């Protein structure tokens, strides 16, 4: 007997992968497009990978152009932030705790945490910020610094780790907060006069926390349709159909095409955690530069857990890497293949820019999944 | 006797002899080793010979489904078997860290002895070094294997031909995810276990049933995807794989999905890829499925004319994409 019959989760999982369902949605998309084109940008690295990994990209109508925006936290981590990580990781007595995919991100001079590790720095991969707190409890003689990188999806768990460290009375745990907020980056993109994006596929994970309200400006101020999408092929296709239909009907809105995971109001508890520990401030985005109120710093009452304050870290803006066009890729101005370094000077083996290094980066996805 | 290893045990003197006789000879027992000469005298019954070597370092030393000891035997035995050879003899060299609990070494030696016995190979010569604490991570093992080749033609990564069927002997990624789960104490991954297993009998059954087998490979580090890319490059062919046919256990699929890993790049220690003429595919599958280690064998794809060196994946929803080679280690993602 088919075991999925008794498991609604498995049944749903199978359904969103179902070739016939996808074929039906593809027909609906083609009908909605009629003869028009759709130039959409997805703003989530998981979408990027899913679109390539599922083979969906090869099935989309030729009139659909797919652009990958600044949705991968690794890709938008600025050179200056990597420099700060390398600085901290190299200090005596510091254990630098990080999620795995930051390890290979090149900073100034091409050095990454992998290089620092090889040179003797104590860099530990953790799977959750709470692992970093445990690391601090187990190593009272060292100071654990956790690299707080990620969007609204990650920030609440990092906030929870700070609260846990405080509750345990730990004095040797701190966070280097490089968190970034998605709506301000979208605002900067949409306001860019060179922005050619006709629809935004909004990040399902971020929307589970924020809900829909912070994205509504896309339709109301910029007249661009947008849909929150899930990550299976059928989820993404459904969002694309919704966006194409809104364009056809001249009725741009921000819709929820992922209602099984996203509540319109988001997750108030996660936002409360984030707001308790962090406060918005300016942030440096790789490729996009400084965006007002687009980052999260620790509130003054948590200064003891703020690595920036404890270690006197100041981020210095650095000039972009020569020839690297990650910024234009992240803004949707060019596709990765239009970058002169793609596949030549810049490959996953020796990435010049972060879009090539991250597993969720658009250049890496082009290189890995699309025939050269 | 001490309960942990001292540097003396690597001195070459009586302490070394005691370790060899009380631990290794006991578990590896066979007449060739027991002579304790400087080398083992081998008497092949048929030739030519296949030879392979590999070194084993793994944390933790013991994990669900195996240990560094079973890996050190299965890994080398399988490499030899992939040439269409019957593995017969192994060498075994230990680099041991001072202070290692002798009980741990004993467990590893027992696992090796048991694994060698079930794989039909004799550990005929070896070496032991003990290095100061901190100079290595508990136990490093090198094994070399020699086997007698019986296959004609000899299977090779260079011999895949357009039109050949591509088969795999069972589920993918079990070993790699098990090691990660054990190492990182990922308690939600309780249903995964290593597939560490000796494959020589299965190889013999395939070759007996089919005669002509073009390529045999065990997809260890780098997983299925990397191994298929190596074969495509070496043979100057393309390979097309059907995603819906790839056997992956649900627990592995779920664990990978959570960690942002791809089971097609995770190591396997008890699986093989078999590429052979299309008309022999069913016989090979029957032979695999008759083995205790090949019950989930599946036909996963086809060798194509080209593009040379490229592996493509037909996805579940009917799309197509590259299945490229792994660059460096897979790292868990942020969100």
pLDDT digits (tens, 9 = 90+) for A122-151: 999 998 999 999 999 999 999 999 999 999
* Residue B12: how many other CB atoms lie within 10 Å: 11
Q: What ipTM does the predicted assembly reach?
A: 0.80
Please indicate if any CB of chain A lies within 8 Å of the CB of B185: no
Nearest to A22 among B312, B317, B328 (CB): B317
pLDDT, tens digit, 9 for 90 and up, residues A16-74: 778 999 999 999 999 999 889 999 999 998 899 899 999 999 999 999 999 988 888 88
- Quick one: pLDDT band at residue A3, thresholds 50, 70, 90? very low
Please indicate if any CB of chain A lies within 8 Å of the CB of B134: no
pLDDT, tens digit, 9 for 90 and up, residues A145-164: 999 999 999 999 999 999 99
CA distance A180 to A262: 20
CB contact under 8 A, A101 and B334: yes
- The overall average pLDDT reported for chain A is 91
Q: In what order do the strands lie in the sheet with B139-149?
A: B49-56, B139-149, B85-97, B122-131
Q: Which residue is closest to A4 within chain B, CA to CA? A: B250
What's the gap in Å between the CA of A319 and the closest CA on chain B?
26
pLDDT, tens digit, 9 for 90 and up, residues A282-313: 999 988 889 999 999 999 999 999 999 999 99
CA distance A195 to A186: 11
What's the gap in Å between the CA of B76 and the closest CA on chain A?
29
pLDDT, tens digit, 9 for 90 and up, residues B48-80: 999 999 999 999 999 999 999 999 999 999 999
* Lookup: tokens for A215: 């994205």
pLDDT, tens digit, 9 for 90 and up, residues B285-328: 999 999 999 999 999 999 999 899 999 999 999 999 999 987 77
What's the gap in Å between the CA of A207 and the closest CA on chain B?
13
pTM of the model: 0.87
CB contact under 8 A, B313 and A55: yes
Confidence check: pLDDT of A319 > 80: no
DSSP reduced 3-state for A266: coil
Which residues of chain A are within 8 Å of residue B264 when distances are taken between CB atoms? none
Furthest-apart CA atoms within chain A: distance in Å: 66
Q: How long a stretch of residues is chain B? A: 335
pLDDT, tens digit, 9 for 90 and up, residues B160-213: 999 999 999 999 999 999 998 888 777 777 789 999 999 999 999 999 999 999
Which residues of chain A are within 8 Å of residue B181 when distances are taken between CB atoms? none
* Lookup: tokens for B51: 């030879």
Q: Which residue is closest to A147 within chain B, CA to CA? A: B334
Whether B275 and B176 have beta carbons less than 8 Å apart is answered as no
* Lookup: tokens for B29: 């027992």
Confidence check: pLDDT of A318 > 80: no
Which residues of chain B are within 8 Å of residue A207 when distances are taken between CB atoms? none
Which residues of chain A are within 8 Å of residue B317 when distances are taken between CB atoms? 17-19, 22, 54-56, 59, 233
CA distance A114 to A322: 22
What's the gap in Å between the CA of A358 and the closest CA on chain B?
9
Better pLDDT: B214 or A2: B214
Please indicate if any CB of chain A lies within 8 Å of the CB of B183: no
The residue-averaged pLDDT of A183-196 equals 91
pLDDT, tens digit, 9 for 90 and up, residues B100-120: 999 999 999 999 999 999 999
Give the H/E segment covering residue B25.
helix B25-28
pLDDT, tens digit, 9 for 90 and up, residues B133-150: 999 999 999 999 999 999
Please indicate if any CB of chain B lies within 8 Å of the CB of A288: no
A82-86, B67-71, B127-131, B182-186: which range is least confident on average?
Answer: B182-186
* Residue A101: how many other CB atoms lie within 10 Å: 25
Whether A70 and A185 have beta carbons less than 8 Å apart is answered as yes
DSSP one-letter code for B240: E
- Quick one: pLDDT band at residue A7, thresholds 50, 70, 90? low
Q: Is B123 left (phi over 0), alpha (psi -120 to 50) or beta?
A: beta
Query: E-assigned strands of A206-354?
Result: 226-229, 254-256, 278-285, 289-298
- Quick one: pLDDT band at residue A1, thresholds 50, 70, 90? very low
CB contact under 8 A, B186 and A127: yes
The residue-averaged pLDDT of B273-285 equals 98
Please indicate if any CB of chain A lies within 8 Å of the CB of B319: yes
Q: How many CB pairs under 8 A join A and B?
A: 93
* Cα dihedral B264, B268, B271, B272 sign: positive
CB contact under 8 A, B319 and A57: yes
Nearest to A153 among B316, B322, B335 (CB): B335
Which of A117, A337, A346, A369 is the best residue to mutate to test the B interface, defined by the most B CB atoms within 10 Å of its own CB? A369
pLDDT, tens digit, 9 for 90 and up, residues B79-91: 999 999 999 999 9
What's the gap in Å between the CA of A313 and the closest CA on chain B?
23
Cα radius of gyration rounded to whole Å, chain A: 21
Confidence check: pLDDT of B19 > 50: yes
Q: Find residues 251-290 of chain B whose CB sits inside 8 Å of chain A.
A: 259-260
The pLDDT of residue A72 is 85
Confidence check: pLDDT of B99 > 50: yes
CB contact under 8 A, A19 and B318: yes
* Cα dihedral A244, A245, A249, A254 sign: negative
């Amino acid at each position: 007997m088919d075991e999925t019959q008794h498991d609604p989760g498995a049944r749903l999982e199978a359904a969103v992968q179902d070739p016939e369902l996808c074929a039906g949605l593809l027909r609906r998309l083609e009908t909605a497009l009629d003869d028009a084109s759709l130039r959409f940008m997805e703003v989530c690295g998981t979408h990027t990978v899913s679109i390539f990994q599922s083979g969906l990209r090869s099935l989309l109508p030729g009139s659909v152009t797919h652009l990958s925006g600044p949705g991968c936290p690794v890709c938008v981590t600025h050179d200056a932030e990597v420099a700060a990580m390398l600085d901290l990781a190299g200090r005596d007595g510091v254990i630098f705790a990080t999620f795995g995919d930051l390890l290979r991100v090149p900073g100034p001079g091409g050095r990454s945490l992998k290089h620092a590790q090889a040179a003797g720095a104590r860099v530990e991969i953790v799977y959750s910020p709470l692992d970093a707190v445990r690391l601090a409890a187990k190593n009272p003689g060292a100071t654990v610094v956790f690299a707080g990188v990620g969007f609204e999806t990650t920030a609440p768990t990092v906030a929870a780790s700070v609260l846990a460290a405080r509750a345990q009375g730990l004095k040797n745990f701190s966070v280097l907060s490089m968190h970034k907020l998605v709506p301000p980056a979208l605002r900067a993109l949409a306001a860019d006069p060179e922005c050619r994006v006709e629809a935004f596929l909004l990040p399902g994970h971020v929307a589970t926390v924020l809900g829909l309200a912070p994205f509504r400006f896309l339709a109301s101020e910029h007249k661009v349709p947008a849909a929150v999408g899930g990550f299976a092929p059928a989820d993404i296709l459904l969002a694309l159909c919704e966006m194409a239909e809104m364009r056809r009907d001249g009725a741009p809105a921000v819709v929820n095409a992922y209602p099984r995971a996203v509540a319109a109001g988001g997750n108030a508890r996660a936002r409360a955690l984030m707001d308790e520990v962090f406060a918005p401030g300016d942030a440096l985005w790789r490729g996009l530069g400084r965006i007002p109120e687009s980052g999260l710093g620790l509130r003054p009452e948590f200064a003891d857990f703020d690595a920036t304050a404890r270690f006197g870290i100041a981020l210095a803006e650095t000039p972009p890497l020569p020839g690297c066009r990650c910024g234009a890729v992240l803004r949707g101005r060019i596709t990765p293949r239009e970058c002169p370094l793609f596949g030549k000077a810049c490959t996953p083996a020796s990435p010049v820019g972060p879009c090539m290094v991250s597993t969720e980066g658009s250049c890496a996805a082009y290189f890995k999944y699309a025939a050269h | 006797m001490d309960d942990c290893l001292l540097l003396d045990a690597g001195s070459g003197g009586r302490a070394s002899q005691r370790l060899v006789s009380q631990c290794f000879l006991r578990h590896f027992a066979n007449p060739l080793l027991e002579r304790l000469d400087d080398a083992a005298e081998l008497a092949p019954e048929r030739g030519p010979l296949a030879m392979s070597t590999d070194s084993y370092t793994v944390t933790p030393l013991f994990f669900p489904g195996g240990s560094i000891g079973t890996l050190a035997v299965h890994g080398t035995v399988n490499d030899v078997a992939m040439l269409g050879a019957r593995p017969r003899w192994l060498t075994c060299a230990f680099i041991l860290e001072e202070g290692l609990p002798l009980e741990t070494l004993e467990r590893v030696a027992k696992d090796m002895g048991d694994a060698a016995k079930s794989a039909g190979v004799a550990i005929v010569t070896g070496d032991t070094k003990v290095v100061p604490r901190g100079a290595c991570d508990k136990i490093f093992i090198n094994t070399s294997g020699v086997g007698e080749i019986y296959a004609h033609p000899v299977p090779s990564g260079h011999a895949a031909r357009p039109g050949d069927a591509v088969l795999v002997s069972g589920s993918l990624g079990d070993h790699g995810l098990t090691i990660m789960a054990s190492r990182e104490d990922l308690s939600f991954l309780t249903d995964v276990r290593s597939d560490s297993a000796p494959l020589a009998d299965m190889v013999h059954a395939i070759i007996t049933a089919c005669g002509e087998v073009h390529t045999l490979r065990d997809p260890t580090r780098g997983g299925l995807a990397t191994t298929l890319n190596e074969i495509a490059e070496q043979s100057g062919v393309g390979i097309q794989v059907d995603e819906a046919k790839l056997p992956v256990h649900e627990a592995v699929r779920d664990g990978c999905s959570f960690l942002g890993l791809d089971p097609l790049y995770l190591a396997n220690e008890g699986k093989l890829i078999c590429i052979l003429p299309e008309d022999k595919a069913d016989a090979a599958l029957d032979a695999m499925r008759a083995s205790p280690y090949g019950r989930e064998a599946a036909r996963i794809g086809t060798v194509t004319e080209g593009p040379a060196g490229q592996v493509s994946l037909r996805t579940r929803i009917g799309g197509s994409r590259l299945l490229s080679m792994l660059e460096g280690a897979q790292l868990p993602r942020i969100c």
